């Protein structure tokens, strides 16, 4: 019975500058992978390090296709997860496809996390501008002007579109809030929000400066 590894081995850093091609994959036979996989599943960290050295370059290229800026971190996370799940792998023939699947999942999670972070920052900025206009009094005039233009543009929106903007930026769960306040499904809410944003952008450009 294979012993499940506990802590992943310390993987060597693979910090490769973006303008330098990754090193070519080390030549190997399937027997090399089979022997090292069996040893790694039995707890041999050096065997797992050899697997890393053989396959890291190709996995890094895959990660760079999906998230160029975070590829090296995704590479490390891919192999950390692979080490923890070694006992799920049945044979060396499946190793590369298995690693690729893990890498794609890691990259997808990274993109979603970045999207959530950007959305949170956008909502926070709108929240500050809508909820705390007094905070701009001591700030540069251009910030106060932007706030004034935003308020005037919001006033120019139809009621349902203005509410959609407020729900999206101020509610923790805007979809649930829209369902309750506007009786809209998720897709209908985001269609309304898209129209509201487009109209708001146009109104922002039209509001005269003081």
The CATH number that applies at residue 100 is: 1.10.1740.10
Same-domain status, 97 and 137? no
Q: What does the alpha-carbon distance between residue 149 and residue 80 come to, in Å, rounded to a whole number? A: 50
- Give the C-alpha separation, 200 to 155, whole Å: 10
Q: In this structure, is residue 15 part of a structural domain?
A: no
**Percent of the residues in the chain that have a pLDDT greater than 70, as a whole number:** 69
Mean pLDDT throughout 11-25? 44
Please state the φ and ψ torsions of residue 113, each to the nearest 5 degrees. Answer: -65, -40
Q: Are residues 45 and 104 in the same domain?
A: yes
Specify whether 110 is located in the same domain as 38.
yes
Chain centroid, CA 16 distance in Å: 21
- Domain of 149 in residue numbering reads as 132-206
Q: Is the pLDDT of residue 125 over 80?
A: no
Of 114, 149, 177, which residue is a domain's last?
Answer: 114
Tokens 């929240």 belong to residue: 127
Residue 145: other Cβ atoms inside 10 A: 14
Asked if residue 62 has pLDDT above 50, the reply is yes
Indicate if the pLDDT at residue 199 is higher than 50: yes
Same domain, 110 and 138: no
Please state the domain count of the chain. Answer: 2
pLDDT above 90 covers a percentage of the chain that reads 29
Task: Give the pLDDT score at 26.
Answer: 46
In CATH, what number is assigned to the domain containing residue 167?
Answer: 1.10.10
Together in a domain, 36 and 95 = yes
Q: What is the pLDDT of residues 69-104, one digit of tens each?
A: 889 999 999 999 999 999 999 888 889 899 999 999
Whether residue 5 is contained in a domain is answered as no
Average the pLDDT over 27-41 and give the result. 81
Residue 39 lies in a domain: yes
């Amino acid at each position: 019975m294979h012993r499940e590894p506990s802590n992943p081995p310390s993987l060597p850093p693979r910090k490769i500058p973006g303008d330098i091609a990754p090193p070519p994959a080390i030549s190997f036979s399937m027997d090399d992978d089979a022997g090292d996989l069996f040893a790694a599943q039995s707890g041999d960290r050096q065997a797992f390090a050899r697997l890393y050295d053989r396959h890291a370059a190709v996995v890094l290229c895959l990660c760079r296709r999906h998230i160029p800026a975070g590829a090296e971190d995704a590479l490390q996370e891919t192999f950390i997860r692979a080490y923890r799940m070694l006992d799920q792998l049945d044979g060396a023939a499946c190793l590369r496809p298995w690693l690729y699947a893990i890498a794609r999942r890691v990259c997808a999670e990274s993109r979603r996390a970045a999207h959530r972070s950007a959305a949170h920052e956008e909502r926070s900025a709108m929240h500050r501008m809508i909820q705390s206009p007094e905070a701009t009094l001591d700030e540069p005039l251009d910030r106060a002007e932007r706030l004034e233009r935003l308020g005037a543009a919001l006033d120019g929106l139809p009621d349902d579109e203005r509410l959609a903007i407020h729900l999206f930026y101020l509610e923790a769960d805007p979809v649930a809030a829209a369902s309750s306040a506007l009786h809209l499904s998720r897709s209908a809410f985001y269609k309304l929000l898209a129209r509201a944003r487009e109209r708001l952008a146009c109104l922002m450009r039209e509001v005269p400066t003081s």
